[in-house]
Amino acid sequence: MKTIQYQLDDGIASITFDEPNSPVNTMCLQWQEDMSELVAQVLKDQDKIKGIILASAKSTFFAGADLKGAMRLKVTDASAIFAEIERVKKNFRTLETLGKPVVSCLNGTALGGGWEVALVGHHRIAIDDRKIQFGLPEVTLGLLPGASGVTKMTRHLGLMGAQPYLVEGKTFSPSEAKGLGLVHELVAPGDGAAAEMRAKAVAWIAANPKAQHPWEDKDYKVPGGTPSNPKVAMMLVVAPAMIKKQTRGLYPAPEAIMACMVEGLQVDLPTALRIESRYLAKLMTGSVARAMINTFFFNLNAIKSGQSRPAGVARFKPAKVGLLGAGAMGAGIAYAQASKGIATVLKDVSQEKAEAGKAHSAKLTQARVDKGRMSADEQQKILGRIQATGNTSDLKDCDLIIEAVFENRELKARVTREAEPMLAGPDKGGGFFASNTSTLPISGLAKASAAPEKFIGIHFFSPVDKMKLVEIIRGQQTSDETVARAFDYVQAIGKMPIVVNDSRGFFTSRVFGTFVMEGVAMLGEGIPAPAIENAGIQCGMPVGPLAVLDETTLSLSLHVMEQTRADYAAEGKNYVAVPGEALVARMVKEYQRPGRAGGAGFYEYPTEKGAKKYLWPQLKPLFEKPDARWNITDLKDRLLYRQAVETARCLSEGVLTSVHEANIGSIFGIGFPAWTGGALQFIYGMGIDAFVKRADQLAAAFGAGFALTDEVKATLQRYQPVY
């Protein structure tokens, strides 16, 4: 066996997982073959065996399925996948029903298929380390735990108890697992942990020679009751509707998991396991799972591993970071930094305004204290790291200074020249300067810098405390060292960095603009506003285009348009407005509706407590046309395709340099639907030819925004992922 070590000594069969040339153990094809060989050997030795210990030779216990293989699956592979899953479970069942006690010694993380391997043990012992994670997060990849995970977790915890760990994919630590009864013993971390686990396992085997899983007992009862229990039945009446509300019918995995849980409890265990295999085979060969695996596993790991970080640059650990502007963005960044241990100088035009910005961190930390998620001592440490000031001199020796002032080129230039001399000098490692602009080209802003090679864009998203993505923008003169240091800074504050090249709007703002402006263009065509908003929701965007434009404010969009027009004129170019821009200008100038921050936009915002926003009634008489022709499929496609086309253009123009940054950036930055796997995976998932055909139809009907040039098509072909 190549991936499994087997040893029988004094009646203890030690099974150690150790996949060669891999940092983790996976359910690769070789492992599946080895498991069959292992089980055959165990059956031969069963008369000599007193007990079985499952362990790992890696630093983690078991990582789960081989997801690269899943990316190559087609619908026609479903039968073969079903048989493969059934073989794995047959081997599991043989070990756990052999009549010998089985103990799982969990030296590290066990997620997905790894936790299902752990569940083979009748008794589970784990190292009590908060960094170790257990659980079944398959739903986040569009899958379900089909190697007995759904069946066993439901029988361990009951329908209600298992739901967060199956339908939501919630993970848990070893101590939490012990509280749930999923781990039975804990050992302290350290050099002797493995030996202690083994000693405990041997002792437990000796004390429990006839161990079995709880459900093998004829008197077993499901915790909380079966689906026929009145209380459970009441929950099941509303559960499907609640799931549908959350998924909008776009994510099949949560519904499949719930169905599998309910159906599995109404039959015997072998039948329940078979039901589970059928659901998994269908999901694994579907397009949604393939898209989500691609992005939330492979693309996300590419970001985390630093594939976009320039190589050969020493790691940067920010000690002191300055922020210019204590408004919503600056205050949010201050909290993000201070909560990760970074000394922060929050500077505004006055001490009073700076203190108001610091109050944001006090509010956020107090909310966590009130919920028991943070101690009062931790709160004070975070607040103590934020120095609110109106004095530029307090920025002295900052490793990094980020300006987060209003989107005005002259203002940004002024604060840059004022604060840049305060950066740490070469004798202290040197500092660099960043702009938090969302649209203004970095190369232009860098003209105000005395060291443009140390000037970069670091674009945060609002609200900073909730948004994980940060867009790093490389200017024309930005050095590799500065890009690498910015990358390290973003990771140091627990955020997710993508690196893009400079252009107007960069990547995220540029693509976001196409989404909202396509929605406004529809309104200008006479399409009812409720239909536009519902189309956005139905295709999987977090909110409709009119609602999100209100949140980002119409007045800001108008300011950006006017700034862009002025910049074009200064360059001797003619700016061509997109269809929705004139309508936005009318909303702000003619109807005095600047957006939510101004109290009125496409929506009304009642001030009464508990009152919900609603679409401005005047949108109907002002813009709606009774004879406007539309259908919901076109509306949904226009909103998704327009963003995907613009993303493809960014890739072709070199604004984007990788598929993984396009997909992660589109989902975490602008809310592109996760079921698609991101804006480029949306194209690759359906096939380039099919996408181009539909884009051509949309271009013919709704304008050049959907048109794909030969150069863009060639770029899509060149970057197409191969698994």
Catalytic residues: 116, 138
Going by C-alpha positions, the residue among 662, 644, 672 that lies closest to residue 300 is: 662
Q: How many Å apart are CA 15 and CA 13, to the nearest integer?
A: 6
Crossing angle of the two packed helices 554-570 and 545-552, in degrees rounded to 10: 80
Give 357's contacts (C-beta < 8 A, 6+ positions apart). Answer: 326, 327, 330, 331, 334, 346, 348, 388
Going by C-alpha positions, the residue among 400, 421, 413 that lies closest to residue 345 is: 400
Q: How many Å apart are CA 347 and CA 220, to the nearest integer?
A: 64
Name residue 639's amino acid.
L
DSSP string across 65-103: E-HHHHTT--GGGHHHHHHHHHHHHHHHHHHHTSSS-EE
Going by C-alpha positions, the residue among 31, 17, 201, 4 that lies closest to residue 122 is: 201
- C-beta separation of 381 from 437 below 8 A: no
- Which residue has 């030296």 as its token pair? 107
DSSP single-letter state for residue 595: B
- C-beta separation of 555 from 595 below 8 A: yes
CA distances from 471 to 148, 221, 302, 331 (A): 40, 52, 15, 18
The string over 44-82, giving b where at least 16 C-beta atoms fall within 10 Å of a residue's C-beta and e elsewhere, is: eeeeebebbbbbbebebbbbbbbbebbbebeeeebeebb
Q: How many Å apart are CA 425 and CA 419, to the nearest integer?
A: 13
Q: How many Å apart are CA 81 and CA 440, to the nearest integer?
A: 50
Angle at 80 (CA atoms; ends 98, 117), nearest 5 degrees: 35
DSSP string across 150-173: HHHHHHHHHHHHHHHHHTS---B-
